[in-house]
Structure 1
C-alpha cells in the first residue's frame, strides 16, 4: 500500500465544552487524494493541533490494518457498510456525533443511516457513486453505451486501455450488476458468473489501481476507467471530453464517514476535528476539492458552481432508479466475494 504522509496544521471550530485552542496532534487515516491540504492547514491554524495524514486505497485495507492491531490512528474514513462491520467487531469508539455542536447540521437521511442510526460511532464526510468514465474523443463515434458492457465486453480499441479500481467490493459489485445477480449472493454458481465476466475482461485491463485515477485519465494514459463520480468531476476539469456513466444495470451509491478507532491516542482531538469538519464552510471546502457532495446543511452556499452543474456530481433525476445502495453482506457472501477476487488477481 502506498503510504503518503503530510505533516500539517489542524483544527477550527470546537465542541461547546472544549477550549477554543487545543494542543497536541491528530493522526488521520483517509483515502488517497481525499483530503484538501489547505483545509488541514486551516484546521491547525485555528486550533494548534498538528495533523499527520496517512492514506489507504480500500475499505478492506483499512479493516485489515485495524484487525491486525494497528494503533496510533485517531480518525479514519470508512464507507457505510464498513462502519457497520467495525461497530460489530468493537473496533470503534463511541463519539455521539449527533450531540456535537455541529451535529444538528447533518441532513436527512444521513443523520440516521441504517449502519449507525443514532450516529453514535460516525459522522458523514462525502457521498457519491461508483461508475466509469471514458474519453469521448478517443472512442469510435465519440460515445459508449450507458452500460457496464462498455468495460466488461469492450470494443477492440479499448484493449489495454481500461483501468479498474483495485477494490474488491467495487469491482465485484459492478460485475454483479452486469451479471444480473445479487452482489451479496451466497450462491457459488452466481459468484462463478461474476468471475467469468471479470476473467473475460482481464485481457483488456491495463491494471487494477485505485490511486491516480484522475491523473491517469486526465493525461490520456487510458481511455476508460472505473471511477468514483467526484474523481470523474476533477478529471473533466482537466480533460472536458471525459464522460461519466451511470450504467443502466445499476451503480453503487455510497457514503464515507468519519469514525474513531478503539483506543485512539488523541480521542478529544479527534472529536474536535470531526465537529470542525461538520461546519458548513469547512466541509464545503472538502467538497470543492474532492468533487463529491456532502451531507451538511448550508454547505452549498460555499461550494463551487461547477459542482452543481456537473451531472457526474448532481445526478440527473432520470438515473435515480439505477442507484444501488451499499450493502453489508453476510460472512458467507463476503467469503465468496473474496475467493472470486483472489482467483481474479492470481
Structure 2
C-alpha cells in the first residue's frame, strides 16, 4: 500500500508491540528475523518443519549453530507449508490464541529450486504453500482492519541469466500475488511488502556439487551439459558475489515494518529490493524493457481501430 508510512501504521494501534508470524525459521533469513524481532520487543510465532531438529538456546545465533532463543515472547509451531489448507488453517487458528492476534505475516519458507523447467516437476511449495498460509492468516487481519503481509521473493523474478526458470517462475508468481493483494487488502488497512533479496550468503546456498542443489525430478540427458555448466557458474559466483549479510537484511526488514531506524520517515514501499545485486538486476530489466518500447513503440501503439470504425460492429 504505497504512500502509507510505518509510523502511521503503528500509531493506529493502542500498543507498539507487534505479533509476527514467521515461516521457515530453522535457518537463513527466517532464523535471523526471529532474533531481530524479539530484540525490538515484539512477539513472534515461529514456524519450522520439525521441532526436533531446531534447538532453543540462550546464546546468540551463528551459521554454525542455528537455533531459536529462549523467550516468553516466542511461540514455536511445527508447520510445513505444504501440509494442506485445512491443517494450516487449524494451526494458524491455534497460534492466534496465544496473543490474540497476528499483526505481521512473513512468508519466508520455500524451496530454492535450481532446476530446468522440463526436469523440475512442480513448484507447489513456493506458490501454493505460501498462498495457504496467507489465506489462513488474512481473516484475522481483516477482522481487525490492521496488518502487514510480507513475501520473500527474489531478484530472479525480474531477470534470469542462468537455467533456473522454475525457481524464478515461482518467485514471479509471488511478485504478482503481492501486487494483487496490495490492491485487494488496501480497504482493510493491510499493507503488503515484497522483499526481493539479491546475493545473500545464507545456509541455503548449497555447493553445486550437492545433488540437492538441482532437484531434477526427471533428469533428461539432453540437458546434462547445460546443467553442469550452470552448476559450475553457480560455484564460481558464491565466493565472489554472494556478499550480502542476511542479518543486515533482516534488520532492515524490521526497520521497514516498524518504521524505525533506516526506514524512519520514509513512505511504505510495495517492493523492497535488498542488496546491490538486486538493484543491478532490476535496473538491467528496466533497461531491456525500455529498449523494446523505444524500438517498437510506434508499431505497438498503432493497433487501435482506425478512425471512423465502429468497434461495436466489428
Normalising by structure 1, report the TM-score. Answer: 0.32
Q: Which structure would you say has the larger Rg?
A: 2
Structure number with higher strand proportion:
1
Structure number with higher helix proportion:
2
Give the structure, 1 or 2, with the largest relative contact order (CA under 8 Å, sep 6 or more). Answer: 1
